Structure 1
Amino acid sequence: MIDLLFAGVAIVLLLAAGYWVRGRGGHRPTGTWAMAALLVSFALAFASYVSFVEAAAESVVPGVGRLLSNSFTLAAATSVLAFMLQLNLEPDQARRSIRVRVLFLGISVAGMTALFAAGQLNDDSPQLYALYVLIYITYLGVTAKDFGAQTWKQAKHSRRKSQRVGLRITAAGCLFALLYAAYKVFGLVSIGLELNLLPHGVRCSTPISPVRCVFSVTAPALAVLLITVGLTLPAVAWPFSQFLRRRWESRSFAALAPLWEAVTGATPEVVLTVAGGGVPGDADGDADDADDSDFLLHRRVIEINDGGLALRPHRSPRVQENAERAVAARGLAGTPEGDAIVEAAILRAAVHAKKTGGEPRPQPAPPASGAASRAGNLRAETEWLLLVAHAYAQDETARTATDDAADELAPSGTDQQA
């Protein structure tokens, strides 16, 4: 079971590294190669724990599996710092700082290798092993602390939700890394003082058995997984969120078509044109001159609102009163759905009045509530117009508004005939 855990984590990390390296949409964000190095290093560290890989390595040099795993882990820690430095510093300053970190990494790995070799020649001296662990855990602990503090701080200022969540997940991974470091320090003290509190040579059969495996296996595994998920989440969530946004925009554009047709049919002057004189959207929701969903939806919302402004002189207070009474009778007064039904009824009557040549109202019905709060917010304005469009096409109260408008216009029409 433990081999499956290590192998699975290694495969996931390699796949995540491949996702970062290949780029998204022809663009590789800052820190791509540092992130790939981080993921590959972690993957190799966990792969070195797999039984057959460890056995193959130790058949050449006994005990070398630990050195390989620890070295890859320190390389991953260096990559974490490199990623952070590239995000937070100017390019030249980041490169200088990264070179210093890589130098420290080389010195640390060289020191660990020398101590490992010396330990092999001195029958696994506990003192030499303690020095080995000291180098390893110092480098790893300092990196985890610095990176965790930095990611938590940045999480408070990130604008995108996926970044905030991802950075907090990463900070949680750093806490597990510090837990692992604390365990190693405990072991270091035990070795240095020859207390033998942690027995050597005991393999973990599961992530929680024996109990010390919670600290030696589960904690670092969770640290790696959380850091990987946290740093990869924004990169994965961004294209997915863009897909959902474009789908919502396209569907909203199509759903607003009936309302747009009615309003622009009465006020064709509000229809905007694009370069070359084309119309940005036709009746069935297609566009010949543009294919950006945000652009098309924005135009459609603007045209509907401009049409509503052009129809304002024909907004009937009587239709408004009748629609409000009908909405109140249905228990929808004061709700967004109820307000949309009232607005749809007023618009339908205004469209009818405009098309039939009705005279402007001396005191037209006021605009729908909430217009100021929605101004400049495409999503809020679109969601409101979607409610209005639905009521305009399907609600009985709105559909009978033209009858009220016709009743109002009847005396005027009779006088004209006389």
Structure 2
Amino acid sequence: MDGKSGIFLFCAGVAWIAVGYKLVALARNPRNLNLWVLTLCIALPAAGFTMAVPAVYSAVNRFFGVPNLASLLVYGCIVGYSITALVMLMLWHMPAAEALPRARVLAVFYGLVLVAMAVLFAFSGATVEAPSDFDDVYGPRPVGGTFLLVYVSAFAFGLGVAAWRSLQFANRVARTDGRPWLRRGLRLVAAGSIVALGYCLGKGGYVVAAWLGTRLPALSDLGTLCACLGALVITTGFTIPSWGPSLSAAAEKLDRARTYLRLYPLWHAMYQVMPEIALDPPASRRADLRMLRDLDFALYRRVIEIRDGRLALAPYLAPDDEPSAAAGTGGRTAAGTGGRTSAAAREAVRIRDALGRLRAAHPDQPAAHPDRPAADEDADLAADLEFLGQVSSALRRLPPAGTVGNSPGGPPGATVDSSPDAPVRN
């Protein structure tokens, strides 16, 4: 198998996977016209790339008993795709009652193009099998070249209109709609269509150059590369509105999990001194990781428990502008960073020192903390996450209070182990 065949198989495989994905959706919703057109829009180039593989190409010709008939079928599928894509974009852009009359006009145009291609193919004299280089062999001939020019002209028309329509619709969605993945998909369709136009220019340029007495096979090869790349981008664009939201949901869940893990050092430092803040304390770090199975609840509880701990520490916290807070970091944590990061670093030092004071003041009993109004549990939860995460990260990097110097208001050597690897106290 040569490199071109491998590329064709890869493009065909990607397209057929997308077709299968859409067929599953069709099985659930068989009356969805948009879904039928979209499936056909992906299946046509998939069939074209499949038949372009030399082994399949030859098998098709043997089955029908017509040399090089696969070329006509491949190019018919590609032109069919460009017309179907226009219908698909119209159905996305306007009501079906308005789109269908225009689709009929496109279908008539497609039929005329197919008839012209079939007639030219029949008179091209393409009687010798050319599964890998039909364009190179028959393109320089007058009739064969005309066949190719009719094909690439129709394809270029469809691609150009598809790119324009896609960008037009994407801009409309950006202004009036809240579907970002549809907007991204439309822009990908436009980008893929523009790339695929390189195929039309390459093939058309090769034919015209050959008629002028110059063979430029590199133009033909470059055109094939543009077709494959454009097809992959277009297929992605047409399918991403359906599976893209799942990517967003997965990314959001991953970000929440990262935040939950990031808050552990801060929560753990407070829990060591004030175990009563935990509603259902995990038995170990591994047990805490199992909380990720109910991530939303676990993250919500983690923030609430940190808030409870912060309220309990209020009497022991040094003023935010206390010089010892900056000194506790050795001048390294807050210096040279943004305001919010500096505030998080100062808060981490204050919490570390306050935990040391609280432990020294009540070595054998849990700290009591004031009741928090129930309404505060939901207030600004999202706004707290980033700042609390920065505080937790800063606290994790801090040395124990006793290793830097005596904290004001606390005895020498009062320390809190904020390491995430420290055991959870029960």
SS at match of 1:404: coil
2:347 to 328, 338, 343: 343
Equivalent pair of 1:280/1:289 in contact (CA under 8 Å)? no
Q: 1:293: how far off?
A: 1.6
Partner of 1:387: 393
Q: Distance in 2 between matches of 1:75 and 1:88?
A: 20
| Percentage of matched positions with identical amino acids | 22
Matched to 2:399, the amino acid is D
1:115/1:128 contact within 8 Å kept: no
How far the C-alpha of 1:109 sits from its partner, in A, is: 3.9
**Mapping 1:244-393, distance limit 5 Å:** 244-257=251-264, 259-260=266-267, 262-263=269-270, 279=279, 282=282, 284=284, 286=288, 291-317=293-319, 320-330=322-332, 332-335=334-337, 339-351=343-355, 353=357, 356=361, 376-377=382-383, 379-391=385-397
RMSD (Å) for aligned C-alpha atoms: 4.8
Aligned to 2:86: 81
Matched, 1:145 2:163: yes
**CA apart distance, 1:375:** 7.8
For the residues of structure 1 that align with 2:332 and 2:148, how far apart are their CA atoms? 78
CA distance in 2, matches of 1:377, 1:292: 21
**Is 1:48 matched with 2:67?**
no
Return 5+ residue gaps in structure 1 as ranges.
203-208, 272-278, 359-373, 409-418
- Check whether the contact 1:112–1:132 (CA below 8 A) recurs between aligned residues: yes
Q: 1:165 to 1:67 in 2, by over 3 A?
A: same
For structure 2, the residue ranges without an aligned partner over 5 or more in a row are 126-141, 364-379, 413-426
> Alignment partner of 2:71: what SS?
helix
Asked if 1:177 is matched to 2:183, the reply is no
Partner SS, residue 211 of structure 2: coil
Letter in 2 for 1:196: W
Question: Residue 217 of structure 2 aligns to a residue in which SS?
Answer: coil
Residues 1:308 and 1:85: Cα distance change in structure 2 (over 3 Å): farther
Distance 2:314 2:33 in 1: 51
Aligned to 2:328, the other structure's residue is in SS state: helix
Q: Distance in 2 between matches of 1:102 and 1:280?
A: 62
TM-score by length of 1: 0.66
Q: Residue 257 of structure 1 contacts residue 283 of structure 1 at CA under 8 Å; is this kept in 2?
A: no
Q: Is the 8 A contact 2:15 2:235 kept in 1?
A: yes
Give distance in 2, aligned partners of 1:385 and 1:329. 16
Change (3 A) 1:396 1:310: closer
TM, length-normalised to structure 2: 0.65
1:101-250 alignment runs, 5 A limit: 102-119=103-120, 122=123, 126=143, 129=147, 132-133=150-151, 136-137=154-155, 139-150=157-168, 153=171, 168-183=187-202, 196-197=211-212, 210-214=217-221, 216-232=223-239, 238-240=245-247, 242-250=249-257
How far apart are residue 74 of structure 1 and its match?
A: 3.0
Alignment of 1:24-103 (within 5 A): 33-59=36-62, 60-89=65-94, 93=95, 95-100=96-101, 102-103=103-104
Q: Does the C-alpha gap of structure 1 residues 139 and 255 become closer, same or farther in structure 2, counting only changes over 3 Å?
A: closer
CA 1:337–1:142: 2 relative to 1, 3 Å: closer
Supply the AA of the counterpart residue of 2:211: N
Which residue of 10, 20, 25 corresponds with 1:8? 10
TM-fit CA distance, 1:182: 4.1
Once residues 398 and 83 of structure 1 are traced to their aligned partners in structure 2, the CA distance between those partners, rounded to angstroms, is 69
Q: How many residues align?
A: 366
Relative contact order higher in (CA < 8 Å, ≥ 6 apart): 2
Instruction: Tell me how far 1:324 sits from its aligned partner.
Output: 0.9
How far off its partner does 1:384 sit? 1.5
